[in-house]
Structure 1
Amino acid sequence: MASSAPPILPISTNQPTAATATSAQSQPPIATPAFRALITHLSDSLRNGVAQRRPWSELVDRSAFSKPESFSEATLRIRKNYSYFRVNYLSILAIVLAVSLVTNPFSLLMLVGLLASWIFLYLFRPADQPLVVFGRTYSDRETLGILVVLSVVVIFLTSVGSVLISALMVGTALICAHGAFRVPEDLFLDEQETPATGFLSFLGGAASNAAAAAAPAARV
């Protein structure tokens, strides 16, 4: 007599396996594409800005220097020379800042530590990984408040602020002195060039590109 037992059908489950769970956990955080986009845009903008640098021989041409006849003429010269030597002037300002920080190693270490805190604890920290210090979990708002207070303390209550302000004042004074005494009549000025273009245009563009890169990852 033949057995009438029904055949055994294979059963499939939709439960994720260990490999699938591991693969899901290994997905890059949302901040990774934003960080890459920011670094890429900064490097491209910096390269383009350096390419717009004027020859240093024009900057130090002694035959083009003369005393301005009035304050208004000096102001006009500074504006025209800044439009032409923008990248050179910003390079001089960066050199003055670098020299000031190198000659004050304590301020340099404090500033580097502050920037690293902002980068790794807030700006590019994955959203799904809260900050945990000594067993206590800090929210994004608490982390931002701590970093703001830390920035105020470092900049205004230590020597970092005085070093930065002094360097900026010295660099600005050098730029204004050169711009006031450099005769700009022999310089070719592009009238269609706006102050927003050039070396510092990456400030707004980098943030927008980083946000655009993070948006698709956030929707996934």
Structure 2
Amino acid sequence: MLPPVESLPITAEERHLSLGDVISLSMQNLIAFVSSQRPWLEFLALGSVDRPTSFSSAVSRSKVNLRHFVVNYSLVTAASVILFLVSDPTALITVASFAIMWLLLCFCRDHPLVLYGRQVSDRVIFFGLIVGSLWGLWLTHCFLSLFLGVVTGVLLCLVHAVIRNPGDLFVQEEVVAPSNFLHWS
């Protein structure tokens, strides 16, 4: 069993990182992730669109395409959510704010968050983000718009993943670094 996050040693360098430093490093990680997107011309190549011959072919196509175009699909889904939330600016700002906080404090952070000389547990950050997000969504009453935006984006991505033939893709095996998201479980 892993020791609790609070008892993990913090290096001297990590102890002196301020909240601004952690957010700055998280922004660099986020920019690196978004810059790893595939070119949109490759993503939208009309010459690569055809029907799969069988269900197993559709599943294998979708697996390859989802892995290859993960950033593009994330951006398409985010655009779909934005389109559904654009009619309510308060909800759009609230969802965008919490999305940025999730990205910076949970998904793209690779250094511990230290406030007032004490390390903030990942569990506390995760719980705070969940409670804050649900509270913000409840106050803005945008659950339906958010749900419809996500479902529409996911369906668009799945349809594209199934009908795009990945035969012309140069798929190289990438070494995947272990994620620090939910590492306490």
Residue 53 of structure 2 aligns to a residue whose secondary structure is: coil
Q: Is the counterpart of residue 87 in structure 1 residue 71 in structure 2? A: yes
The residue type paired with residue 60 of structure 1 is L
2:147 is matched with: 165
Residue 95 of structure 1 aligns to a residue whose secondary structure is: helix
Q: Is the counterpart of residue 96 in structure 1 residue 80 in structure 2? A: yes
| % same residue | 27
2:137 is matched with: 155
Tell me the CA shift for residue 46 of structure 1: 2.1
The residue type paired with residue 49 of structure 1 is F
User: In angstroms, what is the RMSD of aligned CA positions?
Assistant: 3.8
Tell me the CA shift for residue 51 of structure 1: 2.6
The answer for unaligned runs of 5 or more in structure 2 is 1-14, 105-112, 118-123
Distance 2:95 2:155 in 1: 24
CA distance 1:36–1:182, shift in 2 (3 Å): same
TM-score by length of 1: 0.55
CA distance 1:51–1:110, shift in 2 (3 Å): closer
Structure 1, 72-81 or 154-163: larger mean CA deviation: 154-163
2:82–2:92: 8 Å Cα contact kept in structure 1? no
- After superposition, where does 1:7-22 map in structure 2 within 5 Å? none
Q: How many residues align?
A: 152
2:94–2:137: 8 Å Cα contact kept in structure 1? no
The answer for unaligned runs of 5 or more in structure 1 is 1-30, 129-140, 209-220
Q: Is the counterpart of residue 48 in structure 1 residue 25 in structure 2? A: no
Distance 1:39 1:117 in 2: 9
Distance 1:189 1:179 in 2: 15
The residue type paired with residue 170 of structure 2 is F
Distance 1:60 1:164 in 2: 25
Higher Rg: 1
Distance 1:161 1:107 in 2: 9
Distance 2:86 2:96 in 1: 12
Q: Is the counterpart of residue 61 in structure 1 residue 84 in structure 2? A: no
Distance 1:88 1:159 in 2: 28
CA distance 1:50–1:95, shift in 2 (3 Å): same
1:70 is matched with: 54
Distance 2:98 2:44 in 1: 37
Distance 1:45 1:115 in 2: 15
The residue type paired with residue 90 of structure 1 is S
Distance 1:57 1:113 in 2: 30
- After superposition, where does 1:184-203 map in structure 2 within 5 Å? 184-194=166-176
1:19-75 deviation line (CA, Å, top 9, x unaligned): xxxxxxxxxxxx993422322222211221233221111111111011012222111
Distance 1:51 1:115 in 2: 18
Residue 33 of structure 1 aligns to a residue whose secondary structure is: coil
